[in-house]
Chain A
């Protein structure tokens, strides 16, 4: 089985500052890793994914994440946030070969302050 730990439940940050949302996972098998964003009263939107290859993956809206196999981490970063980035962010994992059963972390509420 897989598990995901998002280390921060809430992250406040000022506009135009950099941000890092932390995610650690546990799995005994190979995995795919994802970051999703959820705006109020909406579903989940995929920000980026790691499937294989380069450990630095770039996503939409200027976000990027780095897969670190030795530390079993997949932290999400953005160099300069905007007010519109205020949302809840979820890290998710699935084992390769069963890509339609996601295990999610508990979420991180990112609040961008003016």
Chain B
């Protein structure tokens, strides 16, 4: 089975721009979660989608948003980029229904804001 894929792997943007990151979960998985990893704040939960609905949301400003499509692929969007948004963005998938808590992570998208 193919793992979680994320595109693009690397991205450079300028302050004020917006960016969209994509995540394809493992086949059959219906839940997709997003995390931000920075040296200063560590790994922080952004949000989780299940069957196209956002089920959980972390403590991030409204500039961070996401969505999930009917095929379970997910995108996250960051508008009006700030320097502090530079981070590794990780996507994780899980079956989503009565599973025992295991999430499978993708390789991440490295976003650099200049």
Contact = CB atoms under 8 A, between A and B. Distances in A.
Interface of A: 32, 34, 36, 41-46, 49, 51, 90, 92, 94, 96, 98-107
B104 A46 contact: yes
Nearest to A6: B42
Given A32-B101, A100-B33, A101-B33, A90 B108 contact: no
Contact of A100 (B42, B103, B106): B103
A98 B45 contact: no
9 contacts: A49-B102, A92-B43, A94-B101, A98-B56, A101-B33, A101-B48, A102-B43, A104-B42, A105-B42
Contact of B100 (A44, A51, A104): A51
B44 to A, nearest CB: 8
Interface of B: 4, 31, 33, 35, 42-45, 48, 50, 55-56, 58, 90, 92, 94, 96, 99-108
A49 B101 CA distance: 9
B48 A106 contact: no
Between B4, B33, B42, the greatest number of chain A beta carbons within 10 A of the residue's beta carbon is seen for B42
Given A43-B90, A100-B33, A106 B101 contact: no
A56 to B, nearest CB: 17
Contacts of A94: 101
B59 to A, nearest CB: 10
B93 to A, nearest CB: 9
Contact of A51 (B4, B92, B101): B101
B105 A100 contact: no
Contact of B105 (A44, A105, A106): A44
A43 to B, nearest CB: 4
A46 B104 CA distance: 8
Contacts of B42: 104-107
